Structure 1
Amino acid sequence: MECRDRFFMIAADLSFTGVEPRFEAVDEAGVFPITEQYAAKCGYGVNVLPLRGHMELRASYFSCHTDNQDDEVFTFNFNLIATHEGKAVTYALNKTCSPTLPWSPREITCEANYMEVSVKSEITCPSGTKKDDWNALKPAHGSITSDWQVMFQRAEEQLPPMNMSVARKQGYVFDVTEGRIVFRTPYGQPDSFSMKMNGVPVEVVHATLFSRQRWFVLMVDLVAACAMHVSYEDSGYMVWEIPEVLYSTQFNIGLNDELVEQAVAEDKGYIVEKYNATVKISIPHDALGGYRKSVVIDQLYESYIFHLYFEQILLDEDRLETRVRFQRTLATPLLPRPVVTENRTVLEEHTFTVYLGDVSADVQLAAIYLNGHECPVSFTNASRHTVTEVVHPNNTHGYILTVPFDDPVVQLQFSKEAAVLEYGLYINFTLTLLPKNVSYYHLASIVALITDIPPPAFDAACSESGISFRLDHRPYDYLWEICIGSDMLTSELAAQHGYIMSNDSQSLLLDVPLFTHGYEYKNITLKEFFGTFEILVRDPETSEVLSSTIKTLSLPYY
């Protein structure tokens, strides 16, 4: 519960209030449920703000059931009815507030659901008399009663007077405090009217209170005009407009009920411009206090929401100050916000590196499908895949996925005509929107082309009995022939010549005992001799030898 300059606010966490929470106003006369219609009439605003996680009640200092002491001390009493485990529980809330700013001679509040104007009751007559003043005086002078009455003016039309009881039944509230006269009305009343000021739609209500006292007439002119402009989005800004009024001296701007001076707001990235007698306020999407929300329809979208609080200070020709305050919720339309993928693969590392970026804060990576194989994001230590989250200062984050080329999930194709080896990775990123866990799928296809493809290469080692060769298989080694001399190496050839060969999906092992077929003996002396064995790799179509592995064994005579 907080006291603000011109209103009292209660915020209740939605996780605490349960389903369909509600407020009641309390005073000496009883308890009054604050329905939508009653709130607009009596100076209350109740809003559920899911992005902020709470519901909110704003109460004007001149709201119906507030205890007002000399327009300086205001005491509020409310009941909050919350639901816990299916049962309604009532919490009594009360607070006393005092305005931190002195009251201006005239103040207008343009709330989300009502207009309110209050004027100082002791004020000198204006310096000049206007035509409208005389128009209102005629029916007032002709009145035969001294009771207070109200007369509404609508554009060029002057409506007949009505007594106060009739006006109250129609939803209007008039109140007299120690030093002010207050008038409040919901929007859209029959006696209000809409017009355009400098191209900006405005709702106006013009009420004149009067009472004839013998040979003179007491009149109070109460006018409230609230800009009803529908905001729009423009290149990363939320834009709202109001008419520029003559003698406007100051603007204060803020979000979520906190006002700062125009210069401070501009330092935070706001833009305030005047053109064609209109004031244009532009709020950057990343303004502190704004909210964004992701939405999935056919793709990812986002919307920015701002609870604007705006004050305009005016001086009339008699140097009397008017404060006009607006409470408006502005929301952008759904803006496309696709996530992006970047192929950061370095061929020399033989590993796919894929970056998934521009992921909003309320979107999380839930799973990944690699060429149709589901891989959870929380890979085990034994997995060869890795996923690393990267957090950015602009409330977005990303993920870096790495997959080795030789991983079983990677697709491999070879084009002999182009002499290109193609590794393919088709990725399906499963993203989840919080808090409702709505899924969205982002697809990416990554291809790595290797043109310089080396033929198989054996490791060779000498032993006392001969030479051992080892070849660790690659998925594409079948593209070449392995030969001993002019003969292709097969299990039959190995058995025929006394070689010991084992060949599985991982590797080929070949032990070649000394003095078996295929050795070449050189540098034979009385002390030692050298035996050399060679394995050839050929192109199966041209029989061209592409590479060879030669190992020489040095053995002494015994």
Structure 2
Amino acid sequence: HMECRDRYFMIAVDFSFTGEEPRFEAVGTGVYLITEQYAAQCGYSVSVLPLQDQVVLRASYFSCHTDNTDDEVFTFKFNLIANHEGKEVTYAMNKTCSPSLPWSPREVTCEENYMEVSVRSDVACPTGTKKDDWDAAVQTSYTSATTDWQVMFQRVEQELMPMNLSEAQKQGYEFDLTDGRLVFRTPYGQPDCFSTEVNGVPVEVVHATLFSRQSWVVLMVDLVAACSLEGLYDDDGYMMWETPEVLHPLVSGLHDTQVHIGVDGELVEQPVAEERGYTVEKHNATVQISIPYNAEGGYRKSFVDDDLYEYYVFHLYLEQISVDEDHVDTRLRFHRTLSTPLLPRPVFTENAIHEEHVFTIYLGDVPDDVELAAVNLNGHKCTIPFTNTSSHTITKVAHPNNTHGYTLRVPFVDPVVIQQFSKEDAAMQQKLDINYTLTVLPENEPFYHLASVMALTDVPPVFDAVCSESGISFKLDHRPFDYLWYISIDTELLTSELAAQHGYIMSNDSQSLLLDVPLYTHGYEYKDITLKGFLGTFEILVRDHETSEVQSSTVKTCPFSTTEMICSTDGRMTVVADLSRAVPSGGIPARTNLIDKYCGPKEADDSRALFSFPLNSCGSIVKLNKGSVTYENE
């Protein structure tokens, strides 16, 4: 992507295209590889931006190999050298740009790697210059000036000897005289630069005086570039950057300063800046810039250092326009990358235990560039996504604030859940230790988040029940905490005495309880009785040892074949009688009756008859005994 901006030309290349970090060459009268040192001297800035997955080249309009026509039309030619599958491929790129804004009399650019100042060649002598500095420069230049242009660097209370421009270029400085401007550029940290503090803000300054002597006339041009450097700190969710309103005493006459802010090398309108939360304030002749961490135009990245952290990056672009007392404009532009320190970015878990005996754990506040890779449940590693055969599930939950979460559901009965009895709580304890493995993308750097959940449940004993031809068999495996409950048939406690009384067959040892309940014994309920068969149901109740309240029950219904039977239920007598031996040959069971001749069978076949009638009807004979009442019919 190539674009002409106000004061520079930009090329942005995606890493997905180049494969590796690309290289650039400037094309002019020859081809020049843009190294780090060459870029700073010649007006290029190459930035690797991993958060945008890009490498960006910015070229000053006055960069070394740019074709300049009248300071209005600039033609750039570059080669991009990319690596494709181990082979280098060169792409030629060229673009012609015209600045969208007219040049100010004095312009200073504070790039990431160099300072550049350009002045209109017809600007009058600045009245803000300190007289002592100017006199010293005049005296030195007058005594040593030649017809060739020379440069003298000035430092505080230090007099430096002049040098010709070719010598200055060898030392890393660059001078250029265009049709209407004089340009001076220097990398940061040059021997002739000096650092100072202005209003407590570190500033790097270079003060160069160009001069040439023509007969009795000495031509002098004073060039000063000053750029604030550090001045960055974060405060309560804001990145902050400071720069002095006046960077150097030589330009101390500046006033009426206007400040505009932007991002990624592009200024934004004031309403847009305010909407995004960017603020510009002036305090004691210092300009303070405040940018919220999560402001639009910035970039966020997760980072692992044992735990999860995050940092924010903002590519600040700042313009200061000042007017001095001679009504000469100075336009100062900064390119600065602001970044926060590593900030803790913890994820969290919330636990919920549902009535259906399921652990539900929510892992939340997971950033967009972090993904869940695996979950370890009590030592059992489960990769994401879970297999369809597992009873535990995990669901991703998206949120509009650039975060997401995961909901993990694990039933208590899942084999990974540890089940143990808690004597202290007199209840079953379900425990689940969780180790989430999360990875930061695209590096796939892992980090881990631990959580533990526990639940207590009352779990009454449950019998296994099996049908047989003659009845129903119940089995209960003993557990250490089964003393919390007792077992009853209806309201009566199940004991060996009760079993003997009702005809049950019971055996009870340290391992298990076995109870065989023969058909027609006490406690059965019969339904759907026909000559072919019927259903017999038997229920065992589990009651709380202290309150006697029913906690659970085991109900078993089995089909039985109908043979000769007698039973009474709910005040009715039901009889199935085989009449083949009692009825004379040729008799018809359907035409039989009870003592009351109007009470015939409900159902009959060739040899059997089924009667069902209230106990006190059909001529039944009632006999009162000492401990019982007997009803008879025939």
Output the TM-score relative to the length of structure 2: 0.76
- State the match for 1:401 in structure 2: 408
- State the match for 2:460 in structure 1: 455
Alignment CA distance shift 1:533-1:96 (3 Å): closer
Cα deviation digits, residues 457-508 of structure 1 (max 9, x gap): 789999998789899999987964546665569xx99xx94699xxx99xx9
Residue 521 of structure 1: CA displacement?
Answer: 10
Cα deviation digits, residues 439-466 of structure 1 (max 9, x gap): 111100112234xx36357899999987
Alignment CA distance shift 1:412-1:219 (3 Å): same
Residue 375 of structure 1: CA displacement?
Answer: 2.2
Alignment CA distance shift 1:86-1:415 (3 Å): closer
- State the match for 2:519 in structure 1: 514
Instruction: Answer yes or no: is the 8 Å Cα contact 1:82–1:90 preserved in 2.
Output: yes
Alignment CA distance shift 1:237-1:145 (3 Å): same
Structure with the larger RCO, 1 or 2 (CA within 8 Å, 6+ apart): 1
State the alpha-carbon separation in 1 of the partners of residues 138 and 554 from structure 2: 118
Tell me, yes or no, if structure 1 residue 279 matches structure 2 residue 297.
no
Describe the SS at the equivalent of 2:355: helix
Describe the SS at the equivalent of 1:195: strand
- State the match for 2:630 in structure 1: none
Residue 333 of structure 1: CA displacement?
Answer: 1.5
State the alpha-carbon separation in 1 of the partners of residues 188 and 219 from structure 2: 27
Describe the SS at the equivalent of 1:342: strand
Residue 126 of structure 1: CA displacement?
Answer: 3.5
Tell me, yes or no, if structure 1 residue 242 matches structure 2 residue 260.
no
Describe the SS at the equivalent of 1:189: coil
State the alpha-carbon separation in 2 of the partners of residues 461 and 532 from structure 1: 12
Alignment CA distance shift 1:480-1:169 (3 Å): same
Residue 546 of structure 1: CA displacement?
Answer: 5.3
Alignment CA distance shift 1:427-1:476 (3 Å): farther
Cα deviation digits, residues 234-268 of structure 1 (max 9, x gap): 22211111112351521111221121144431221
Instruction: Answer yes or no: is the 8 Å Cα contact 2:354–2:360 preserved in 1.
Output: no
- State the match for 1:232 in structure 2: 233
- State the match for 2:268 in structure 1: 260
State the alpha-carbon separation in 2 of the partners of residues 455 and 446 from structure 1: 22
Tell me, yes or no, if structure 1 residue 319 matches structure 2 residue 327.
yes
Alignment CA distance shift 1:94-1:532 (3 Å): closer
Alignment CA distance shift 1:545-1:10 (3 Å): same
Tell me, yes or no, if structure 1 residue 446 matches structure 2 residue 446.
no
1:152-551 mapped onto 2 (5 Å cutoff): 152-245=153-246, 246-343=254-351, 345-450=352-457, 453=458, 455-456=460-461, 480=485, 482=487, 487=494, 497=504, 512-516=517-521, 518-519=522-523, 535-537=540-542, 547=550
- Amino acid paired to 1:275: H
Residue 515 of structure 1: CA displacement?
Answer: 2.5
Instruction: Answer yes or no: is the 8 Å Cα contact 1:253–1:311 preserved in 2.
Output: yes
Residue 96 of structure 1: CA displacement?
Answer: 0.5
- State the match for 2:107 in structure 1: 107
Identity of aligned residues (%): 66
- State the match for 1:527 in structure 2: none
- State the match for 1:143 in structure 2: 144
Alignment CA distance shift 1:510-1:251 (3 Å): farther
State the alpha-carbon separation in 2 of the partners of residues 519 and 144 from structure 1: 127
- State the match for 1:7 in structure 2: 8
Instruction: Answer yes or no: is the 8 Å Cα contact 1:462–1:553 preserved in 2.
Output: no
- Amino acid paired to 1:243: P
State the alpha-carbon separation in 1 of the partners of residues 67 and 329 from structure 2: 26
Alignment CA distance shift 1:94-1:477 (3 Å): farther
- State the match for 1:526 in structure 2: none
Instruction: Answer yes or no: is the 8 Å Cα contact 2:147–2:214 preserved in 1.
Output: yes
State the alpha-carbon separation in 2 of the partners of residues 436 and 115 from structure 1: 35
Instruction: Answer yes or no: is the 8 Å Cα contact 1:79–1:90 preserved in 2.
Output: yes
- State the match for 1:78 in structure 2: 78
State the alpha-carbon separation in 1 of the partners of residues 390 and 524 from structure 2: 46
Instruction: Answer yes or no: is the 8 Å Cα contact 2:505–2:516 preserved in 1.
Output: no
State the alpha-carbon separation in 2 of the partners of residues 438 and 278 from structure 1: 42
Residue 297 of structure 1: CA displacement?
Answer: 1.8
Cα deviation digits, residues 170-197 of structure 1 (max 9, x gap): 1111101111110000111111100000
State the alpha-carbon separation in 2 of the partners of residues 421 and 172 from structure 1: 80
Instruction: Answer yes or no: is the 8 Å Cα contact 2:525–2:569 preserved in 1.
Output: no
- Amino acid paired to 1:328: R
State the alpha-carbon separation in 2 of the partners of residues 108 and 406 from structure 1: 72
State the alpha-carbon separation in 2 of the partners of residues 372 and 302 from structure 1: 29
Describe the SS at the equivalent of 1:102: coil
- State the match for 2:88 in structure 1: 88
Alignment CA distance shift 1:53-1:467 (3 Å): same
State the alpha-carbon separation in 1 of the partners of residues 412 and 418 from structure 2: 9
- Amino acid paired to 2:9: F
State the alpha-carbon separation in 2 of the partners of residues 297 and 157 from structure 1: 48
Residue 212 of structure 1: CA displacement?
Answer: 1.7
Alignment CA distance shift 1:480-1:519 (3 Å): same
Output the TM-score relative to the length of structure 1: 0.86
Bigger-Rg structure (1/2): 2
Cα deviation digits, residues 111-138 of structure 1 (max 9, x gap): 1110000011122334566312222111
Alignment CA distance shift 1:550-1:314 (3 Å): closer
Instruction: Answer yes or no: is the 8 Å Cα contact 1:266–1:272 preserved in 2.
Output: no
State the alpha-carbon separation in 1 of the partners of residues 331 and 449 from structure 2: 51
Describe the SS at the equivalent of 1:133: helix
Describe the SS at the equivalent of 1:142: helix
Residue 213 of structure 1: CA displacement?
Answer: 1.9
State the alpha-carbon separation in 2 of the partners of residues 240 and 184 from structure 1: 24
1:16-95 mapped onto 2 (5 Å cutoff): 16-27=17-28, 29-95=29-95
- Amino acid paired to 2:324: D
Describe the SS at the equivalent of 2:266: coil
Alignment CA distance shift 1:292-1:520 (3 Å): closer
Residue 11 of structure 1: CA displacement?
Answer: 1.1
Alignment CA distance shift 1:521-1:2 (3 Å): closer
State the alpha-carbon separation in 1 of the partners of residues 539 and 172 from structure 2: 104
Runs of at least 5 residues in structure 2 that lack an aligned partner in the other structure: 247-253, 527-535, 556-567, 576-610, 612-634
Q: Which of 563, 571, 574 is the matching residue for 1:556?
A: 574
- State the match for 1:118 in structure 2: 118
Instruction: Answer yes or no: is the 8 Å Cα contact 2:239–2:292 preserved in 1.
Output: yes
- Amino acid paired to 1:515: Y
Alignment CA distance shift 1:158-1:263 (3 Å): farther
